[in-house]
Amino acid sequence: MIRIVGVGGRNEMEAAKCLLRQILSYWPWVEHDTQSDIRLIVGTNCVGQEVEDIDLVLLAVFAQPPRVALLDCYGSPAGAYLLGSVCSVIEVKEHHRDAIVLQGDSLLVRYGSEWKSAVEQNRKQMHALRRFLEAKGVNRPFIQKFVWLKNVEQRELSGDRDTVPGLPYLLFKDSAWRSLLTSIWLSWRARNPNAQGFGDGSYFISADISRRSPADFDAICQALTSERFPLKPAVFEVHEYSHSAGESPRAGYGLSEATGGGISRLLISRVIKLLPALLIVGVVASLGSIMGLMNVSRWMTTPSSQTSGRDTRLLPGFAGRYRCQRKSGMDIVIVSETADHLSISSGRGGAELWPISDNKFRTVRSTTDFRGEVVFTKSGKNKVLNLIILSERGERLVCPRSD
């Protein structure tokens, strides 16, 4: 869902309504989506701070992260990212082009005969919100900052370029929701230059700044509006990514650790996946007979006694329907529970799933060409959000839960 909260001046309220229309134009599904919650908070007052009034605060949480496509300067696909949550302060400026001056990485706006830095004003608003939340004892998020020039088109400042050099967080009269999403990516990438993404070139971005104390959006919303914000953002614990300035962000969705001098967890996981194949080669070489090959094959397709003896009380939480978006179309995958394992099926066929760990399973007796592993991801409340299909060919497919 999406809605405007709070009471502000006419200009701020019009800006909020304009932003709401832009979001719905780009993401029409978000209006009635129960797995999304976007609040446009107008007229936030940070009592006791150097700057008390903030034009517009954007809070957004996605339990099922939307995929944001990135384009290069020619409009061609250039990767993507999954968005888990956002917290932004937006400074709205009604000035026209003749009242705006660019000086290096600073943007000056004219008030009568005096010129003030809109960038500095925006920065002070960000710090005011940060300190206000800290004073309330709230686990704060990373706060994005934007200056919105409501009466200036992008070409008036940037010409033919996609952004104003040094000021990627500027929004213009003709900016769209995609512009803000692109700025979120540019800001995140600048802070995480060494982060590695999925095999398909995508990344996961959220507003959390610490994996040990994730942002409390419910407490943030109550501090700013006295309203509740019950929806929790997606949490993915597959791999980790590095962060600059000594901060330790929470585990990223499929992002490998990219700190220098060490082997990434992603590389280790790939080596581990190769170990069974290496063991099989060794066994086949030592047996040197057809019977030996048959025994190896039987071992591969039958759950081990160690796996089949695993406690299955955690299995019921994984059963359900999942949506798998492929290039060839959408598949509905159904996971069901049996006595001691799971079964997975779709229009393409099915397989048994036997547990490797609490949330990871391997396929057995598959009726399709799929061989590999299935990993389930959960929210902070232990609710299953997605299943991730990892094939032996190195393919990766994320399937959000749909029931």
Three-point CA angle 376, 381, 384, nearest 5°: 25
* Exposed / middle / buried, residue 309 (Cβ in 10 Å: 0-12, 13-18, 19+): exposed
Could you tell me if 377 and 236 are in contact, meaning their C-beta atoms sit under 8 angstroms apart? yes
106 beta partners: 103
pTM > 0.75: yes or no? no
Q: Per-residue pLDDT for 200 more than 70?
A: no
Distance of CA 63 to the CA centre of its chain: 9
pLDDT for the residue numbered 275? 56
Distance of CA 55 to the CA centre of its chain: 26
Domain parsing of the chain, residue ranges: 2-225, 302-400
- For residues 150 and 145, what is the distance between their CA atoms, to the nearest angstrom? 16
Which of 38-42, 322-326, 338-342 shows the lowest mean pLDDT across its residues? 338-342
Phi and psi for 96 in degrees, rounded to 5? -95, 175
Could you tell me if 265 and 249 are in contact, meaning their C-beta atoms sit under 8 angstroms apart? no
Instruction: For 206-226, write each residue's pLDDT tens digit.
Output: 888 766 678 889 999 998 988
Instruction: For 75-104, write each residue's pLDDT tens digit.
Output: 666 778 889 999 999 999 889 988 988 877
**What is the percentage of the chain residues whose pLDDT exceeds 70?**
72
- For residues 290 and 284, what is the distance between their CA atoms, to the nearest angstrom? 9
> Residue 236's closest CA among 345, 44, 386, 12?
386
Q: If you average pLDDT over residues 308-319, what whole number do you get?
A: 58
Instruction: For 3-38, write each residue's pLDDT tens digit.
Output: 998 877 788 899 899 999 999 999 999 999 999 999
pLDDT-derived band at 388 (thresholds 50, 70, 90) equals confident
Instruction: For 29-72, write each residue's pLDDT tens digit.
Output: 999 999 999 999 998 888 888 888 888 999 999 988 888 888 76
pLDDT for the residue numbered 385? 86
